[in-house]
Copies of this chain bind each other. A is one copy, B any other.
Amino acid sequence: MTPNKEDYLKEIYKLGGAEKLVGNKQIAEVLKIAPASVTEMLIKLSHEGLLHYEPYKGSCLTKEGLQIAITLLRGHRLWEVFLMRHLGYSWSEAHEDAELLEHITPPRLSGRLDKFLNYPAYCPHGSAIPHSDGQIDRKPLRPLVQLAAGESSHIRKVAEEKELLDYLQSLGIEIDGAVTVASIGPYEGPLMLDLDGRQVQVSHKAACQIYVDER
C-alpha cells in the first residue's frame, strides 16, 4: 500500500464505490490523473484484490479495499478533530493537513488519538468518524438547497472543499447550528438564511453542499 493507492481507494469510496460501479472518468477527475493512468492503476488494484474492475464499466471496492478506505477516513477525521480542537486550525486548514496525516496513521495511532479526543462521533465538518471496527453511524441528510422558503432545520454537515470551507467559515456557519431559510433567490439565486437570528446570504452552489436533517 502506498499513499497514492490509498487515495485511489478512498476517492472510489467517496464516489460511492462501496455500493455501485464508479467510472474511470470521475476517478481521474478527483485525483487529477490522466484517464489512461487510472485504467492502469485500477487493473493493478484489482489484481491486488482491493477492487472489482469491469473494463468499460467501472470499479467497486472489495471488502479489503473498503476496509482500507474506511481506515483512511477514520484517521483523516480524527486528525481533523485534533487539529481544530487543540491546535486552532480552521476548517480548511484542518482538512488540508489531515489529507497528509491520514496516510501515516497506523491503528495504534488512530486508536490512541481516538481515546485522547474522547471518541468523537463526527469530524469538524460533520462527517461520521468510522469506529475502529469499520462501523459507521450514518445519519440521513438532505442538501440545504432542497428546503422550501420558511423551512427550518439544523446544519449537520458541509462538503470538504477548501474554497467552500473558507467561504462557509467566514460566514459563521456552524455544524449543528439551527437554520431557517428566509428566502430563495430565483433562477439559482442566493438563499437568505437565518442562523440563530443572524441573517446570512449563501450562494445556490454552496447551499447544494450544506446538509441538514432529513424530514
Contact in complex: A87, B100 (CB < 8 Å): no
Cβ–Cβ contact B116 & A87, under 8 A? yes
Contacts of A100 in B (CB 8 A): 104
Residues of B within 8 A of A113 (CB): 87
Q: For residues 23 through 77 of chain A, which have their beta carbon under 8 Å from a beta carbon of chain B?
A: none
Q: With A and B bound together, what is the CA distance between A81 and B44 in angstroms?
A: 39
Q: Please give 15 more A-B residue pairs, beta carbons under 8 A apart, in addition to A87-B113, A88-B112, A101-B101.
A: A86-B116, A87-B109, A87-B112, A87-B115, A87-B116, A89-B112, A93-B108, A97-B104, A97-B106, A97-B108, A97-B109, A100-B104, A101-B104, A103-B104, A104-B104
Interface residues in A79-118 (C-beta closer than 8 Å to B): 86-89, 93, 97, 100-101, 103-104, 106, 108-109, 112-113, 115-116
Give the residues in chain B near A89, CB-CB below 8 Å: 112
Give chain B residues whose Cβ lies under 8 Å from the Cβ of A97: 104, 106, 108-109
| Consensus secondary structure, chain A interface | helix
Given the complex, which residues of B lie within 8 Å of A93, measured CB to CB?
108
The complex places the Cα of A103 from the Cα of B103 at a distance, in Å, of 11
A-B contact pairs, 18 of them (CB 8 A): A86-B116, A87-B109, A87-B112, A87-B113, A87-B115, A87-B116, A88-B112, A89-B112, A93-B108, A97-B104, A97-B106, A97-B108, A97-B109, A100-B104, A101-B101, A101-B104, A103-B104, A104-B104
Closest chain B CB from A142 CB (angstroms): 35
| Assembly CA distance A204 to B116 (angstroms) | 39
A116 proximity list for chain B (CB < 8 A)? 86-87
Chain B residues closer than 8 Å to A109, beta-carbon distance: 87, 97
In the docked arrangement, what's the CA distance between A103 and B87, Å? 19
Assembly CA distance A93 to B101 (angstroms): 17
Q: CB-nearest residue of chain B relative to A113?
A: B87
Q: How far is B210's CA from A169's CA once the two chains are assembled, in angstroms?
A: 50
**Shortest beta-carbon distance, A76 to chain B, in Å?**
13
Interchain residue pairs A-B with the least CB separation, the first 7: A100-B104, A87-B112, A86-B116, A87-B116, A97-B109, A101-B104, A88-B112
